[in-house]
Amino acid sequence: MTPERLAGLSDPAAPFGELEFVESIPFGPKLELSRYRLKNGLSILLLVDRSAPVVAYHTWFRVGSRHEKPGKTGLAHLLEHLMFVEFEGLPAGAFDAKMEELGADNNASTWLDFTQYQEAFPKAHLPVVVELEATRMSKLVLEHELVESEKEVVKNERRYRVDDDVEGRLEELLWAQAFEHHTYHHPTIGWMPDIQGFTAADCATFYRTYYAPNNASLVIVGDLDPAKVLRLLSRAYGHIPPAELPLEDVQPEPTQLAPRRSEIELPTATEKLALAYKGPALGDLDHVAASVLTEILAGSRSSRLFRKLIAEGGMSAEVRAAVGPHRDPSLIEIFVSMRQAKRAEEALALVESEIERMKREPVLRSEIERAVSKSELGLLGSLETADGKASTIGFYECLSGQPADAFARLSAMRRVEPSDVLRVARRYLRPEASTLILARPTPVSPSVEAAS
């Protein structure tokens, strides 16, 4: 789009509505992303996909639990909840009601590195969605009663997903034990005392600080007329001023020099183990090979640990492994759930034996091929819809600044050699850099047994 035409799309009444074309980015073999920017710093990524008359509209904010301070954990997640409640000119509940009237599917999520909001809807409703989302970015109402009400919702969510959930509790403890300095120590949902202590002023400060156009990316995918979309965006978002973003002050995690081990009793029928090693960041060259490694180790029914622990050993009911897709170095995790009367130590011995084997012997090329094929299938499946494309674009845009990185990663994965997996196994799967939590069933008291 020429500068002259772009200037004609900018709303002259909007002080920050001036549009700038930044770049075109190939997205797969046939599609192309276009990046634009408003004068207030809002990044706009448009992908025209006319395969269906629908639009996916995502807003990605570069803020998550990593940006929180001790004593204020869970604030990003609470804001996500409040962003569905009340806005200037939209009373409580009106935002969701209007989305429902449009036939839109809308949702949101908060994680360590980002918070995102998403809608998918028939393309005719794009102007209404643009206005609603611009209102959400700039006119959130944060009164005491609204905040207190939503805090109760979050507290109940924490009880259900963490405090009363065995796997949720294990995951939280694992990350809290593995990270002592980096803010990945904090659970995204927050610690319960912090949630209870939040005030409307806390929420307002967080909102004004991070929910700014220069800290956000719009990802819009579907049956679009780019000129019409840009004109709408300039008018709706061009009145929102940028914020002065704080310097991010995240402490790097020091090198772990000794293994960390703990046991916990939980209300589980069988024993479980959660094992983690310090792993690479998503943008690290090692991350792709680490993804192949975890897939070979426990990513499918043909994986090594599935065969040893479930198909052949019969001692475990579930095993899985993954490397965290995060902006900073995170964790390579292995989770095992035992069968009745089986001890977690039995599985741990086999897991550690297989890990040592991966550090000693190159994996088979056929194992790499299966891992790559599974990853490729997962990516292509996620890109079947406009919403899936927008999710993929927004995720990589937020974490790496490269919205088409999914295809670059797939290409890199196809180049992974056995030597790469061997190197990564030796570099990261070190006992001294490991964290282990063994979960035992809570003992049943004699009085309970007698009553039953």
At 444, the pLDDT band (50, 70, 90 cuts) reads low
**What are the φ and ψ backbone dihedral angles of 210, each rounded to 5 degrees?**
-110, -25
pLDDT digits (tens, 9 = 90+) for 5-17: 788 899 999 999 9
pLDDT digits (tens, 9 = 90+) for 139-196: 999 999 999 999 999 999 999 999 999 999 999 999 999 999 999 999 999 999 999 9
pLDDT at 256 over 70: yes
Would you list the domain boundaries of the chain? Answer: 3-237, 260-443
Any bridge partners for residue 54, and if so which? 122
Rounded to the nearest 5 percent, the helix, strand and coil shares of the chain are 45, 20, 35
For residues 59 and 116, the answer to whether their CB atoms sit within 8 Å is yes
| Burial class of residue 452, CB neighbours in 10 A (0-12, 13-18, 19+) | exposed
The pair of three-digit structure tokens given for residue 417, joined into one six-digit string: 């050699």
Give me the residue label for tokens 């039953």. Answer: 452
Produce one character per residue of 191-225: b if its CB has 16 or more CB atoms within 10 Å, e if not.
bbebbeebebebbbebbeebbbbbbbbbbbbbbbe
Residue type, 388: G
pLDDT digits (tens, 9 = 90+) for 212-221: 999 999 999 9
pLDDT for residue 452: 47
Rounded distance, CA 358 to CA 224, Å? 48
The pair of three-digit structure tokens given for residue 190, joined into one six-digit string: 């927050």
**What are the φ and ψ backbone dihedral angles of 181, each rounded to 5 degrees?**
-120, -45
Rounded distance, CA 315 to CA 77, Å? 38
Mean pLDDT score, 297-303:
93
Query: Is domain 260-443 classified as CATH 3.40.50.300?
Result: no
pLDDT at 448 over 80: no
Q: Which CATH number fits domain 3-237: 3.40.630.30, 3.40.1440.10, 3.30.830.10, 3.40.50.720?
A: 3.30.830.10
Rounded distance, CA 159 to CA 154, Å? 9
What's the chain's Rg over C-alpha atoms? Answer: 24
Provide the 3-class DSSP secondary structure of residue 314. Answer: coil
pLDDT for residue 404: 97
Beta strands in 133-256 (DSSP E): 216-222
Could you check whether 3-237 and 260-443 share the same CATH topology? yes
At 432, the pLDDT band (50, 70, 90 cuts) reads very high
pLDDT at 245 over 60: yes
Strands 216-222 and 43-48: parallel
pLDDT digits (tens, 9 = 90+) for 155-167: 999 999 999 999 9
pLDDT for residue 445: 59
pLDDT at 447 over 60: no
Percent of the chain with pLDDT over 70: 97
Provide the 3-class DSSP secondary structure of residue 184. Answer: helix
pTM of the full structure: 0.95
Q: Classify residue 401 as left (phi > 0), alpha (psi -120 to 50) or beta.
A: left
Name the residue among 255, 279, 404 with its Cα closest to residue 333: 279
Name the residue among 82, 73, 76, 68 with its Cα closest to residue 144: 82
Neighbours of 296 (CB within 10 A): 24
Rounded distance, CA 123 to CA 25, Å? 23
Give me the residue label for tokens 């997903």. Answer: 161
- Alpha-helical segments (H) within 139-178: 144-158, 166-178
Name the residue among 138, 103, 314 with its Cα closest to residue 242: 138
**Sheet containing 316-323, strands listed edge to edge, beginning at the edge strand earlier in sequence:** 260-266, 434-441, 272-278, 331-338, 316-323
Cα–Cα–Cα angle for 203, 234, 390, nearest 5°? 70
Neighbours of 147 (CB within 10 A): 20
Rounded distance, CA 36 to CA 348, Å? 51
Residue 53 Cα to chain centre, angstroms: 28
Rounded distance, CA 326 to CA 440, Å? 30
